[in-house]
Amino acid sequence: MNVVSIPGSEEFEVLSPSCIEIVQCRNFNINATVYSRAQNPWGSLSVKWVYVEVLTLLPEGDMIDLTSALASEQTS
């Protein structure tokens, strides 16, 4: 498992080339349905991922392509 850190935004744990786990979600909005372990409004530690087709614009102007995030389920 690799951790990708983007200064001023958030960290991603890359589980596989097609699955990205969002560990923090603070400085920008993701226009897709995702459940974050760090900020799950339902209070569950179970993280469920859905297929997203979105290109997220970071405050710095960098872009992250989340198109290939596939449905998977993580539990802690």
Query: pLDDT by residue (tens digit) across 23-68?
Result: 444 434 444 444 444 444 444 434 344 333 344 444 444 455 444 4
pLDDT score, position 17: 44
Topology classification of domain 20-75: Complement Module; domain 1 (2.10.70)
pLDDT score, position 31: 41
Q: Which helix (H) or strand (E) holds 53?
A: none
pLDDT score, position 55: 43
Characterize 15-52 residue by residue with b for buried, 16 or more Cβ atoms within 10 angstroms of its Cβ, and e for exposed.
beeeebbbbeeeeeeeeeebbebeeeeeeeeebebeeb
Compute CA 74 distance to the chain's CA centroid, rounded to the nearest angstrom. Answer: 13
Length of the chain in residues, anyone?
Answer: 76
Whole-model pTM: value is 0.15
CA distances from 34 to 5, 38, 40 (A): 19, 12, 9
How does residue 71 score in pLDDT terms, banded at 50, 70 and 90?
very low
